[in-house]
Structure 1
Amino acid sequence: MRADESAPIRVLIVDDDALVRAGLTLMLKGAPDLHIVGAVADGGEVEGAVAEHRPDVVLMDIRMNGLDGLDGIEATRRLRARTGAPEVVVLTTFDADELVFRALRSGASGFLLKDTPPEGIVEAVRKVVAGEPTLSPSVTRKLIAHLVPEEENRRRTDARQVLARLSEREREVALAVGQGKPNAVIAGELHMSVGTVKGYISRILTKADLDNRVQLALIVHDAGLG
């Protein structure tokens, strides 16, 4: 959670294409509640830039041709392993790119296609800061469909074992998260307060050893319950 909710959302852009970096910077500067704190061209520069600029959100390209060979997936994994890491939204050109699925498992809070309209990118940044994922259900289904059957079966078994560690009420909340429902809707359907829903989600993430609700949603999908 950000220390000052009224302050502009600090955004770091990571992309090896100078035109994309410039375009995203120009685009996001038009939103009064966003502040671009930096833009780097290589996955290897991410941790240093985050330490220097302390962004709330990192917009991370997946495929980068940096000199150190560090792509967006590995950069995301390393970043999210840090205490107090910012949220990560990965960027891709293809809506059926399996690399995006791997990036989400590395701890990203969602992804955007690079042709997303400016208002969509701004809204996505706001959502991840508020704890809401930026996943498109149609794209998520395509990504899951790309998994080979053996891998899908293994993931289903592992996911069901994770969910089996939850209480009945926790599984109800997890299923609702997997269906893409926001906290307010979950609260209404399960007859609890939004604060209680947040508490359940926090406990579920701890029990399942997950970083965020995006990964929880993927677990539910993998279990065949989403």
Structure 2
Amino acid sequence: MRVLLVDDHALFAKSLSIALCDFPEIDQFSSTKDIKNLENHITTEQPDILLIDINLGGLTNEDGLMLTQHLLKHFPEQKIVILSGYNLPVYHKEAKRIGAKGFISKDVEPDELLHILMAIRNGTTYFPQEKIFIEDLTEGEKKVLELVSTGAKRKEIAKQLFISERTVSNHLQHIFEKLQVGSTVEAVTKAIQIGYISPVK
């Protein structure tokens, strides 16, 4: 199996290379930070699995999910798996929506990672089982929630989003209902836990 990793952390890439190359099932493991020439790498190396981190640092203006979506337009048959430390339900769902074949936490043990990658190469998909179901927030609700997390008051939020304070209150009520919480503090806490407020800063 040929594996290509896209990650901005050289130490992680080296560690993963050492771990995976111990397995006879891995014919080739390579990594790259060269986003500009990534399509050429894919064409040349023809990886069975392309592993992409979500947070690519300063390598590109895109995060790993956006990059995945872009690549799948050019390489629709390429099996892409998100390998990330940001193991959050919102990211799992987005990865699945855009056509990735799996989402794997960087906490995974090497032998388990190999098992998952082999299964994906053979046609399955892998996404963590969600223990909670959260109704999707609208874009307007997400914006209100992000501003609430910065400490902004309803009047400030209304001014920034060019909406009325009543609309802000309605958004907050819907957010509370969807996240099953009773306060803005609980809403922000839960939103961080499930990924609506991104830890990638």
Query: Do Structure 1 and Structure 2 share a fold, with TM-score over 0.5?
Result: yes
Consecutive aligned runs of 4 or more in structure 1 exceeding 3 Å deviation: 42-45
* Residue 24 of structure 2 corresponds to residue 35 of structure 1: no
Query: Using a 3 Å threshold, how does the CA distance of structure 1 residues 44 and 36 change in structure 2: closer, same or farther?
Result: same
CA shift, 1:42, in A, is 4.9
> 8 Å contact 1:60–1:89 — kept in the other structure?
yes
CA shift, 1:86, in A, is 2.0
Paired residues for 1:1-150 under 5 Å: 9-83=1-75, 85-96=77-88, 98-138=90-130, 141-142=131-132, 145=134, 147-148=136-137, 150=138
CA shift, 1:116, in A, is 0.2
Higher helix share: 1
Query: Using a 3 Å threshold, how does the CA distance of structure 1 residues 67 and 57 change in structure 2: closer, same or farther?
Result: closer
What is the aligned-residue RMSD (CA, Å)?
Answer: 2.1
CA shift, 1:93, in A, is 1.2
Aligned-pair identity in percent equals 27
Structure 2 unaligned regions, length at least 5:
140-201
In structure 2, what is the Cα distance between the partners aligned to 1:23 and 1:45? 23
Query: Using a 3 Å threshold, how does the CA distance of structure 1 residues 31 and 65 change in structure 2: closer, same or farther?
Result: same
Equivalent pairs, count: 139
In structure 2, what is the Cα distance between the partners aligned to 1:60 and 1:21? 11
- Counterpart amino acid of residue 128 in structure 2: S
In structure 2, what is the Cα distance between the partners aligned to 1:42 and 1:35? 22
Q: Which residue of 2 aligns with 1:195?
A: none
The SS at the match of 1:145 is coil
